Structure 1
Amino acid sequence: MPIAIPTLDVHPLDVLRQCRITRIECFRFDRKLSEELQHGDDSYICGLIAISTTTGIVGLKEFEIPCTSLKGDFTMWAAPFQRMKGMALLDSVDFTQQKRDIWGSVRMELIESALVNLNEQIGKPCVQFDRAYLFEHAQAYVSF
């Protein structure tokens, strides 16, 4: 069950300017959970990306990426997100736009969706996600 944390009484634009990314976590779900989510289809890799900030706001995005989009291992695939750690939210949006051609559409859509979710959480009660459950069902985990 999620735990509600009080919201900040700050203008959303101020949050975007002052809030910084403190951690980016990428969970690749194990085969069992992936198969449950995909109803037996194993042509996609399932997981979740979480972007945590200095204000306690967390942006979450579950993903299904085609197995063919993952060149190398999951850690190397997620490694480009590391450069976003410490950035202000406004800067991170600009940064991702600059990397569009290098990162490719799948990676871009994933990180942009997590940033959109993070933006949608501004002014709402912060919700903690269940890391214990995710670790129990993770085949791979990367944290920056």
Structure 2
Amino acid sequence: MLHVQEADPLLGLQSSGFRYEERIRSIEVFRFDQELTQRLLSNNEKDSICGYLKLSGNGFRGWGEYRLPCSSRTFDLVGWASVFMNLKGLDVAQAFQLVQEKEEKWGRFRKELAESTLLNCVPTLRSPVHLPFPKEHIYFMEHTDSYVSF
């Protein structure tokens, strides 16, 4: 689910037409319900937790998918996702820099999730979109077990 590019993501932010001033205004984290989790994962991963991280601002948005192994039936989504609050109010370049600085504190997994979500924001920062919510994401929202927004 999580795909992170090895190249320096900040290099792509140097092109003309990039809207540097746009800030991250909304951070949402979705945890899928068991029905959707079981559809998405193989039998040996059924105890995993999966969902989306969404970052958005004025005319841009980016999505990142996560899958966490979980041995416990209880999972504190708010506590786990609270590190992403630090991204709110930052532009994408600042957010990339913060994520790099926080790797030790956040852990590799949350760092890579934030990076992949920020990379997913870049195309819409070049060309703002004000499109309706994609239908497949509406389906995912209907199958959300828990949700947090910052």
Shorter-normalised TM range: 0.7 to 0.9
Deviation at 1:74, TM superposition (A): 1.1
Alignment counterpart, residue 31 of structure 1, candidates 13, 31, 34: 34
- In structure 1, the residue matched to 2:106 is 103
Structure 1, unmatched stretches of 5+, are 1-9
Q: Distance in 2 between matches of 1:132 and 1:121?
A: 19
TM-score normalized with structure 2 length: 0.77
- In structure 2, the residue matched to 1:122 is 125
TM-score normalized with structure 1 length: 0.80
Alignment counterpart, residue 59 of structure 1, candidates 59, 62, 68: 62
SS in structure 2 opposite 1:49? strand
What's the % identity of the aligned pairs? 34
Paired amino acid for 2:146: A
Q: For each residue in 1:95-138, what CA deviation from the matched residue of structure 2 results, as whole angstroms up to 9, or x when unmatched? A: 11110100001111111100011113333463434564333211
Point out the structure with the larger strand share. 1
- In structure 1, the residue matched to 2:53 is 49
1:76 aligns with 2:75: no
Change (3 A) 1:76 1:103: same
Q: Distance in 1 between matches of 2:141 and 2:63?
A: 15
Paired amino acid for 1:137: H
Q: Distance in 1 between matches of 2:31 and 2:64?
A: 12
Q: Distance in 2 between matches of 1:129 and 1:93?
A: 26
RMSD: 2.1
Q: Distance in 1 between matches of 2:94 and 2:36?
A: 34
- In structure 1, the residue matched to 2:147 is 141
Q: Distance in 2 between matches of 1:79 and 1:129?
A: 26
Structure 2, unmatched stretches of 5+, are 1-15
Runs of 4+ with deviation above 4 angstroms: none
Q: For each residue in 1:62-91, what CA deviation from the matched residue of structure 2 results, as whole angstroms up to 9, or x when unmatched? A: 2212226xx951110000111211111111
Give aligned pairs, total: 129
